[in-house]
Amino acid sequence: MKTLLPLVAVALLAGAPAAFAQSDNSDAVGPMVTENKVDTQTFVTTVPNANMFEIESSKLAQEKSASADVKAFAAQMIKDHSKAAEDFKTALSQGQTTASIKPAGPALQPKEQQLIDDLKATSGKEFDAKYIKMQADAHKDAVALFSTYANSGDDPAMKEFAKKTLPVLKMHEKHVKELAVAHQ
């Protein structure tokens, strides 16, 4: 069964919030993937945008959150996703099937930019709730993307990058779930 994977990319890693909203709508726009495979093109174009979203939204959290635990989580996101971005660049340069694939540019995709703009318009507890929800969604999507690519990717360097990054993403996913409970 084929599903669609919109290049919203929440992903890097971490991931971007709607990068993996799967749909059975065959008229939707996006690269085709099977339930258990993500093509290298999708992975390589999704990851940088997802990473940037994680970093930019977390920078906002450091500025706007009044909660120490949210600020600490945001600091960890910036650190880990900055490292993941560097690791991604290294893997991309070593990739066997990535020579013709160009990752997304430095700008966020429209969906992620809208999410950042929504965060900018909030403050206090409303900010924390939105940020935590966005991080939960982004990490759920990122874990799905990285797990799938780690198991089925066709580029050895990218596959190794996915395998190496996946435990960090799972840790983030667990931590953000704990934040969600603490901020209910």
Question: Tell me: the pLDDT tens digits for 46-67?
Answer: 999 999 999 999 999 999 998 9
- Residue 3, SS3? strand
Residue 27 main-chain phi, psi, to 5 deg: -90, -10
Around 15, how many Cα atoms within 13 Å sit in the side-chain half-sphere? 28
Torsion (CA) 160, 161, 166, 167 in degrees, nearest 10? 80
pLDDT of residue 20: 38
How many whole angstroms separate alpha carbon 83 and alpha carbon 110?
24
Answer for the pair 70, 183: CB distance below 8 angstroms, yes or no: yes
CA 159 to chain centre: 16
Q: H or E stretch including 4? A: strand 2-4
User: pLDDT tens string for the chain (184 positions)?
Assistant: 333 232 223 333 333 333 333 333 333 333 444 457 888 989 998 999 999 999 999 999 999 998 999 999 999 999 999 999 999 999 998 988 776 777 666 668 888 899 999 999 999 899 999 999 999 999 999 999 999 999 999 999 999 999 999 999 999 999 999 999 999 8
Find the helix packing angle between 68-94 and 40-64, rounded to 10°.
Answer: 150
Tokens of 124: 């206090």
How many whole angstroms separate alpha carbon 153 and alpha carbon 35?
13
Q: H or E stretch including 101? A: none
pLDDT of residue 105: 63
